[in-house]
Chain A
C-alpha cells in the first residue's frame, strides 16, 4: 500500500516528468509528445517507488531493468532519468541535436541509465525476455520492466515473445502496454484492432491486469499483485490518453511544438503540481 503522502509525491513526480518532457521536446520544436506523455505516470511509479536502482551506478548488476520498447517515447524516459540524477538536467536540451547522447529512440550505448537500444518496434520485447531469462539463470532477484506501445503490438515479434516468456515462466518480467488507443495513422481500432489486450495476454499464459494508466496508485498495486505470480510473466495494460496532462498534445503522435504551446503546457503542469501541495 502507498500512503497519501507517497501518492501525492508520485503524482507530483509524474507532473514533473511531463513538464520536463515538454520543455525538452519544445527546445527542439518537434517530437513524439503524445507518446511520451502517456507513459509519465508509469515511469513515475517505477522510478519513484518500485525499481531497485542506483543512479550513481547505472549498470549495478543487482538493479532492476527497464526496457522502453516503444523507443520513440525516449524523451519521457530521459526526463525521468535526469530528474533521478542519472545525468544533469541541462543535458535534456540537447535532445536530437548533433552529437547528443539523447537520440529520438533509446540507445543503451549513448544514454546513461538506458538499459536497451530500442526503436524498431517489437524488438525491446524479446530483449527484455532475454534479460529476464539471463537474470533468472543467475538466480538474481531483479525484475525486468518492459513498456510496449499499443501500436507496437501489431508486430508479430511481440506475440512470439509472449509465447516464449510464458514457456520459460519468466515471473521476473513485468510488462506494460501503453494502451492510448492511437497509433501514427489514427485510432488503433481502425487500423489493426487490438481488442482486449489483457485477455489476449492471459490466453498466452500471462498474469494480466487492466488499470487506469494515469492512476499511480492503481499502477503500483498492479505491480505488487504481479509480483505474487513468480512463475508467470505479467502484463499490466495501462489504459491511457495519448498526450495526457498537456491539452495541446492530446491525441498527438509526432508533432511540431511552438514556444507558446510549451509555455501553456508548463503552466498546466505547474498548476497540477501546486494543486498537490
Chain B
C-alpha cells in the first residue's frame, strides 16, 4: 500500500467508466485470460472502445443478467478471468442466485462490476436504485465486496483483483468522482486507508461518502472537534483492526454510505464494534426506504447523506460519548 493523498478534493476530470475501459484494455493486453461481459450496457459504461480493441473477448449478452453471470461462471471454469458489468441493482437483485450458486458456491472466479449504486442511479429512479446490493453481496460466503472512492483507487483495485482468484463485487459510480488520491497510489484489499487523523470521533465511509466525510471533518474542525476519517473501501472482509483501533482511540464512530444503513457498511462496522469495542456510534445512509427519481444533489439531501448530515450525526454521537463518560 502506497497512498498519496490529493491536495484538494475536487471533481475528477476523468470519469470512472473511462478508467474502467482503459484498465480493461491495459489488463487484456498483458493477460489473455481477461474477458469482458456486459448485458447491453456497454454504451452506458463506456466500454465500446474495449469492444473495438478486443472484439473476440467482448461478450455482450444482451439484456440477460442471469445468463451473463452463468456464462461468466462457465468462462471461469474454462480458465478465463471474466469481468462482468451491469447496474448494481441488476448485478445483485436480479442475478443473485447465479452469483451465489454458479459463481460463489461453485468456487469460481468472477469479477462483478455494479455501476450506478444507490442514489447515483439518479434519473433512472427507484427501480434502478440499489440500496441493498452491499448487503446482498456481503451475505454470500467468501465474496469480497469493494466500493472505491475515486478513479485512482478504482484503477489499482481492478488490477489487484484480476490476480486474486475468487468472487469479487465492485460497486462504483460511472461518472466523475471527487478526487481523494493522487494517481499512482496503491491499495491493499481488506486494508482501509486513514485519510485524516483525529482524536474525538472516527468517520468511516466508502464510495462518494468518503468525500462527504472529509468535508464533514472540516466542518467539525471549525467547531473545534477533531474527526478522524477512514476510507473503508473493502466492505468485506472489513478491516477489523482499523475499526477497533479507531474506536479505542477516539471513543465514538459514525459511518457514512450510499446504501441502506441495514446490511451495508454501517452494519459491518457495528458488527465489529459490538463484538470487540462497543462505543457510541451512529449510521448515515438510507433509512430503510426505496429510492426515487431525481438529480444526485437533490437525492443526497432527500436521503440525508450530505456532509452536513454526517457532521450533525457526529455531534449527536459525541454528546452520547460525553454523557456516558459523565454518567
Using CB atoms and an 8 Å cutoff, list the residues of chain A in contact with chain B: 61, 107-109, 115-117, 119-120, 122-123, 125-135, 137-138, 156-157, 160-161, 163-164, 167-168
A164 contact from B67, B77, B105, B107, Cβ within 8 A: B67
A126 touches B73 (CB 8 A): yes
Chain B residues whose C-beta falls within 8 Å of the C-beta of A134 in the assembled complex: 35, 74-75, 77-80
Task: Say how far B59's CB is from chain A's closest CB, in angstroms.
Answer: 7
Give per-residue flags for B88-126: 1 if the beta carbon is below 8 A from chain A beta carbons, else 0.
000000000110011001110000000000000000000
Chain A residues whose C-beta falls within 8 Å of the C-beta of B98 in the assembled complex: 123, 126, 157
Chain B residues whose C-beta falls within 8 Å of the C-beta of A137 in the assembled complex: 35, 56-57, 80
- Tell me whether B72 is interfacial, beta carbon within 8 Å: yes
In angstroms, Cα B95 to Cα A157, docked, is: 10
B106 touches A131 (CB 8 A): no
Chain B residues whose C-beta falls within 8 Å of the C-beta of A115 in the assembled complex: 77
B residues 107-148 near A (Cβ < 8 Å) are 107
Give per-residue flags for B138-180: 1 if the beta carbon is below 8 A from chain A beta carbons, else 0.
0000000000000000000000000000000000000000000
Q: A117-B102, A130-B77, A132-B74 are in contact. Are A123 and B64 (CB under 8 A)?
A: no
Chain B residues whose C-beta falls within 8 Å of the C-beta of A135 in the assembled complex: 78
A131 contact from B67, B68, B74, B107, Cβ within 8 A: B74
Among B72, B74, B78, B79, the one with the most A-chain Cβ atoms within 10 Å of its Cβ is B74
> What bracket does the count of chain B residues touching chain A fall in?
20 to 34
Among B56, B77, B78, the one with the most A-chain Cβ atoms within 10 Å of its Cβ is B78
In angstroms, Cα B61 to Cα A157, docked, is: 12
Chain A residues whose C-beta falls within 8 Å of the C-beta of B75 in the assembled complex: 130-131, 133-134
- Tell me whether B225 is interfacial, beta carbon within 8 Å: no
In angstroms, Cα B59 to Cα A132, docked, is: 13
- Tell me whether B184 is interfacial, beta carbon within 8 Å: no
In angstroms, Cα B259 to Cα A191, docked, is: 40
B106 touches A109 (CB 8 A): yes
Task: Say how far B58's CB is from chain A's closest CB, in angstroms.
Answer: 11
| Additional 4 contacts, C-beta under 8 A, given A115-B77, A157-B98 | A108-B77, A116-B73, A120-B101, A157-B66
In angstroms, Cα B78 to Cα A107, docked, is: 16
Task: Say how far A92's CB is from chain B's closest CB, in angstroms.
Answer: 23
- Provide 15 A-B residue pairs closer than 8 Å at the C-beta atoms, listed in order of the A residue: A108-B107, A115-B77, A116-B74, A117-B101, A117-B105, A123-B70, A127-B102, A129-B71, A133-B74, A133-B78, A157-B67, A160-B64, A163-B62, A164-B67, A168-B59
B101 touches A119 (CB 8 A): yes
Q: A127-B77, A131-B78, A134-B79 are in contact. Are A116 and B71 (CB under 8 A)?
A: no
- Tell me whether B19 is interfacial, beta carbon within 8 Å: no
Chain B residues whose C-beta falls within 8 Å of the C-beta of A138 in the assembled complex: 78-79
Chain A residues whose C-beta falls within 8 Å of the C-beta of B57 in the assembled complex: 137
In angstroms, Cα B77 to Cα A117, docked, is: 10
B71 contact from A107, A117, A156, A164, Cβ within 8 A: A164
Chain A residues whose C-beta falls within 8 Å of the C-beta of B35 in the assembled complex: 134, 137
In angstroms, Cα B107 to Cα A222, docked, is: 34
In angstroms, Cα B99 to Cα A157, docked, is: 13
Q: A126-B67, A126-B70 are in contact. Are A116 and B106 (CB under 8 A)?
A: yes
A126 touches B79 (CB 8 A): no
- Tell me whether B69 is interfacial, beta carbon within 8 Å: yes
Chain A residues whose C-beta falls within 8 Å of the C-beta of B97 in the assembled complex: 120, 123
In angstroms, Cα B35 to Cα A138, docked, is: 12
A164 touches B64 (CB 8 A): yes
Among A127, A134, A161, the one with the most B-chain Cβ atoms within 10 Å of its Cβ is A127
Task: Say how far B274's CB is from chain A's closest CB, in angstroms.
Answer: 33
Q: A163-B64, A164-B64 are in contact. Are A129 and B70 (CB under 8 A)?
A: yes
In angstroms, Cα B64 to Cα A137, docked, is: 21
In angstroms, Cα B102 to Cα A119, docked, is: 10
Task: Say how far A143's CB is from chain B's closest CB, in angstroms.
Answer: 13
A126 touches B102 (CB 8 A): yes
Give per-residue flags for B75-88: 1 if the beta carbon is below 8 A from chain A beta carbons, else 0.
11111100000000
A127 touches B66 (CB 8 A): no
Chain A residues whose C-beta falls within 8 Å of the C-beta of B71 in the assembled complex: 126-127, 129-130, 133, 161, 164
Chain B residues whose C-beta falls within 8 Å of the C-beta of A161 in the assembled complex: 67, 70-71
Chain A residues whose C-beta falls within 8 Å of the C-beta of B73 in the assembled complex: 116, 123, 126-127, 130
Task: Say how far B168's CB is from chain A's closest CB, in angstroms.
Answer: 17
Task: Say how far A249's CB is from chain B's closest CB, in angstroms.
Answer: 28
Chain B residues whose C-beta falls within 8 Å of the C-beta of A168 in the assembled complex: 59
A130 contact from B56, B70, B105, B107, Cβ within 8 A: B70
Task: Say how far B126's CB is from chain A's closest CB, in angstroms.
Answer: 24
